[in-house]
Amino acid sequence: MNSETDRRANFIGSLWMVVAMAGFAVEDALIKIVSEALPVVQILIIFVFGGKLTKANKEKLTRSPALKAVNVAVVDRSGAAKVLLKADGSGPHTVGSITGKAFTLASVGHATVGLASYLKDHRELNGLRDMEPRLVILDFGLPIKVGDALIGGIGVDGALSGLIDEACAKVSIDAMTGK
């Protein structure tokens, strides 16, 4: 290596260190702001869950060609987005789709497989589709529960089939809950 290449590599490494430290500073500031409204235990659960979800899905995404375009969104019980994993090359519509799926799961509290067809067969419930713009009536995702307590929802899409999407959601929840 020549000295110019060494300097460039050192400069790039230094930039990454600055970016990482800025990220830690932002995270610290956000934790301090959020700690005024949420108990520390809830903040820790959100961070642990986000980390485990990211790790579980990163491993799955890198091992299987069927999962290369999988996108994942996690919302808390109130429907607020907490984690978003968007695959490179996936369409711009996926963010709204998966976040809406997760919101719907957190709202209804059970798997949404068959919900669209159920609503089709029960026209008197069609108002459900229009009562909240964030509701997305699509299959494949799961509510997140600890014991019987509903704590959020996870929406997934982009795999080769909806069943694989739901399996990804299950793997993520199992990773978080230690199953």
Give pLDDT tens digits for 111-127. 887 777 888 888 888 78
What would the two tokens of residue 91 be?
A: 């369409």
Domain ranges of the chain: 1-37, 39-177
Q: Which CATH superfamily is domain 39-177 in?
A: Haem-degrading domain (3.30.450.150)
Confidence bin at 110 (pLDDT 50/70/90): confident
Give pLDDT tens digits for 27-85. 666 667 667 776 666 666 666 666 666 666 555 555 555 556 778 888 888 998 888 88
| Largest interatomic CA distance in the chain | 74
Query: Measured between alpha carbons, how far is 114 from 122 in angstroms, rounded to an integer?
Result: 12
pTM, full prediction: 0.62
pLDDT of 131 reads: 84
Higher pLDDT, 105 or 52: 105
- Residue by residue, DSSP assigns the chain as --HHHHHHHHHHHHHHHHHHHHHHHHHHHHHHHHTTTS-HHHHHHHHHHHHHHHHHHHHHHHH-GGGTT-EEEEEETT--EEEEE--TT--TTHHHHHHHHHHHHHHH-S--TTHHHHHHH-GGGTHHHHS-TT----S-EEEEEETTEEEEEEEEE-SSSHHHHHHHHHHHHHHHHT-
